[in-house]
Structure 1
Amino acid sequence: MSAHILDGKKIAELVRAEWKLRADKLIKSDVKPGLAVIIVGNNAASAIYVKNKIKACGDIGIYSEVHSFPEHAELDEVLDCIQSLNENPNIHGILVQLPLPAHFENNRVITSIAIEKDVDGFHLYNVGALVTGNTVFSPCTPYGVMMMLKENRVPIEGQHAVVVGRSNIVGKPMALMLLEQGATVTICTSKTHDLSQFTKAADILVVATGKPRMITAKMVKPGAVVIDVGINRLPDGKLCGDVDFESVKETASYITPVPGGVGPMTITMLLCNTILAAERAQVGIKKP
C-alpha cells in the first residue's frame, strides 16, 4: 500500500487562507504588513526564489519591495540598506536572500537585521532561543515541516525522529523543534557510519543533505513518516529530492514529494512570520 502524499501546495493554501484573515484584519486597522527582500549578485536560483516570494506576498496582501545589489557590492552598502529598513515603520520583515557573495560575512549581515524584523528566523537570537522554546520567528523550512505534521495530525510526542542533515538553516533547528514537541531526536549526517541503522529506527525521518535519492526503501522503517527537504537537479534537468520517492512511498505511511512538498511551506511560513511581525508592531512590541 502506497504512502499518503503530504501535498505541500494544498497544506500551504489552507495555512495561507487562515493567515490572510489576520492580514486583512491588520489592513482594516491601517497596518499593511510589509516585507523587504535584499538580494546580492546574479544567482539565477536566488532570483527565482525572490520572484516567488514577492508573488506570494501579493497574493496574501503583504506589501513587498526588493533591494538588489550587484555581485561586487560593498558590505557597508548592504548594511546601510538594512539599517534604513530597520528604522522604516512600514517594513515589518527583512529577508536577506542566501547565498551571499563569498566576500560577505553572513553572520554580520544577518545579525544586523532587527530581531523583531528577522522573519527568516536566522538571527543568532532567534536561533539560540530555539533551545529554550522561546524563539519569536522560527526558521521557515523547519517551521513549514512542523506545520505539515500538525495539519496531518502526525503524532510527535514520544516518537523517534531522525534528522539527516546538520545545517543551520534546516537540520539543527529542525531537531530542536521536534525535541520541543516531545520527540526523541537523533541527528545524523550524510557521512554517518552505517546511516541506515539510524534511519530504519525512525518513526519520523527528515532528510536534508543535498544528496539526490540517497535514502532508499531499505533504509526506511515500514510505516514511517518521511519528510524530504532536499531539492536536486539531475543531469536530465529533472528535479528530485534526497529520498528515492518511488521506492520509499511503498514503505512509508506519509511522504513528501519533490517538488511540491516542503518547498511551498517554506514560503508560506515566511508570509506567516511577516504577518506576525506586523501584529507585534501594531501592539508596540519592539523586542522579543
Structure 2
Amino acid sequence: MKLATIRTAGGTRAVRVDADAAVELGAADLVEVLRRPGWREAAATADGPAHPLDGLDYAPLVIAPEKIVCVGHNYRNHIQEMGRELPAYPTLFAKYGRALIGANDEIALPAVSDAMDWEAELALVIGAEVRNADEEQARAAIAGYTVLNDVTARDWQYRTLQWLQGKTFEATTPIGPWLVTPDEAPATDGELRCELDGEVVQSTDLSDLLFTPVQLVSYISTIITLAPGDVIATGTPGGVGHARKPPRYLSDGTVVTTSIGGIGECRNVCRQEKA
C-alpha cells in the first residue's frame, strides 16, 4: 500500500495511491492518518474522493511531524570515503519540519551557502507510539518507507562540531512521493540512487547500511518516545560532493533525482535564493 499527502484546491489531503487513482483517506495529511487507531485497515478500505494520478501535486509526505531524526555515518562505503572508522553507535542529529519539501518541489539553495551537497537516503515513518522497543516492537512500529535527500550546507555544517545548522535550512529536504508499507517495501534490499542532471553520483545497495531501520527505531526509542508521523532518515552512502577532489556542490538549475528501487523517486530542481 502506498500512502501520500497531496495538495488540492481545498488544501492538503492524505491519500492512498492506487494503480489508477489517489483515494482520499478523510484526513488533511498522513500524520493525522497515522495517529488514528487501526489506520492500516482504514487506509486500505477507504473509498473517499478520487484524484487522477496524472498531475498529482505531492506535498511533503508528513506535515509538521513531531520529530525528524537523522543518522550520519551509516553506510560503510560513505564512512570509508570520509576517512572514518565504523562507529559503535548511531550518529544522530535533528532536522526541523520547515526543511521538508515535496517530491517535486524546488530545493532552495540558501544565499549564505556556497557548498550545498546531496545526500540520498532511505527514510522510515513511524506508525505507532513506541518507547524502549525491542526488535519485534521496533519492526511493528514502522509504518513504511520513503525517499529523502538530506541536502546539506557543508560550509555551515562544519562551522562547529554540531551539525544541526548545516542540516536544516528551510525548504532543502525532499521527501516522498509516498510511503510504502513494509509488506511491499524492501527495507534493506534495493538500490539507493542519486542523479544530478542525469549523471549518477550515488548508487548503493541498501544492504550496505551499518545500522538497520529496526535497530535504529530500537536505539532511538530508548532515548525518547517515537510518535506516529515521526521520520527517521537512515543515512547516505558514498558519492557525496564534499568528499570529491575537488569538492562538487549543487548549483542553480541542477535537477536532483533521488530514487530507491521498489519505493519511489523524488525529482527536484535547485533554485538559488537571492541575497
TM-score where L is the length of structure 2: 0.27
> Which structure is higher in helix share?
1
More strand by share: 2
